[in-house]
């Protein structure tokens, strides 16, 4: 009899990653696909990318063998999309609805860092979000999305970098190596072309967040504008962390997400 399969899915604003293990703990495989934050790409695309990552992770095994799919979802928004996403995933890959479970990505991140214990977790990916738990208290800070928040995230660092690129081009600030990096990164020859690419993008969050790595690189090479952006966003991260620590006492901090690894 085949081993039943458990699948964990990290459904993010830029990419989706799934990992499949047997109920006995044996590693089966992992899968990867495009963005699946329903707040930015919609339920349909979110479902397609989650399913693609799951199917890829089980390495040709049948979906009927899956006992449980646990999804940590970015843009969870209080579960407003849960029912539609569960139906869509169930129909698309042929697993029962009861075996699909969705939680907010920050809750999953907290559990993975502290295994149910006390501490503060920060997700610094395309977006940003902060959650602290201690002594029965749960404090959330940030997690407000790319328009109203996402301080310290790849989106915010990439965005500030690009704003500085245009300020440098029209003479509001001095030269910065971010300009040549932006032209190279987006493969353009003019700032008008760069503007057009950004404003016509169907996935502007990923497109802009992808520039964060160039800001980190420029800072490492000593570019003052890039260093100032990273300092500012580090202050934002500290501000969120302090707001939680002052409330719950616990100072244990775990940072996860792609931006933190840059």
Closest to its own copies by CB, 26 vs 201, is: 201
Closest to its own copies by CB, 53 vs 176, is: 176
Tell how strand 66-73 and strand 137-142 pair up. unpaired
131 phi and psi, to 5 degrees? -145, 130
Q: To which residue do tokens 């969120």 refer? A: 240
Min CB(71)–its own copies separation in Å:
21
Min CB(167)–its own copies separation in Å:
8
Closest to its own copies by CB, 17 vs 151, is: 151
CA angle 8, 14, 224 (to 5 degrees): 130
Closest to its own copies by CB, 162 vs 256, is: 162
- CA dist 226 and 241 (Å) reads 23
Residues that bind its own copies (CB under 8 A): 39, 77-78, 139-142, 144-145, 147-149, 159, 162-163, 166-167, 170-173, 192, 195-196, 198-199, 204, 208, 239-240, 242-243, 246-247
Min CB(242)–its own copies separation in Å:
8
Four-residue CA torsion sign, 196, 199, 201, 203: positive
Q: How far is CA 233 from the centre of its chain?
A: 16
Name residue 22's beta-bridge partners: 5
Min CB(164)–its own copies separation in Å:
10
């Amino acid at each position: 009899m085949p081993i039943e399969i458990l699948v964990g899915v990290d459904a993010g604003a830029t990419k989706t990653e799934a990992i499949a293990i047997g109920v006995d703990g044996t590693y089966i495989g992992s899968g990867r696909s495009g963005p699946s934050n329903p707040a930015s790409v919609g339920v349909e695309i979110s479902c397609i990318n989650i399913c693609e990552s799951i199917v890829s992770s089980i390495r040709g095994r049948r979906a009927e063998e899956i006992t449980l799919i646990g999804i940590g979802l970015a843009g969870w928004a209080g579960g407003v999309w849960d029912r539609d996403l569960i139906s869509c995933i169930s129909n698309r890959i042929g697993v029962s609805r009861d075996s699909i479970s969705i939680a907010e990505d920050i809750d999953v991140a907290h559990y993975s860092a502290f295994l149910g214990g006390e501490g503060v977790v920060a997700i610094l990916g395309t977006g940003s979000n902060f959650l602290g738990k201690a002594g029965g208290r749960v404090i959330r800070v940030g997690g407000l999305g790319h328009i109203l928040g996402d301080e310290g995230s790849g989106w915010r660092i990439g965005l500030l970098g690009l704003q500085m690129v245009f300020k440098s081009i029209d003479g509001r600030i001095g030269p910065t190596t971010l300009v040549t990096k932006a032209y190279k990164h987006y493969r353009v020859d003019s700032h008008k072309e760069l503007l057009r690419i950004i404003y016509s993008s169907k996935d502007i969050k990923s497109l802009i967040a992808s520039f964060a790595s160039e800001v980190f690189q420029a800072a490492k090479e000593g570019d003052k504008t890039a260093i100032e952006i990273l300092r500012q966003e580090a202050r934002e991260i500290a501000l969120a962390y302090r707001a939680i620590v002052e409330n719950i006492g616990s100072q244990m901090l775990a940072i996860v997400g792609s931006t933190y690894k840059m």
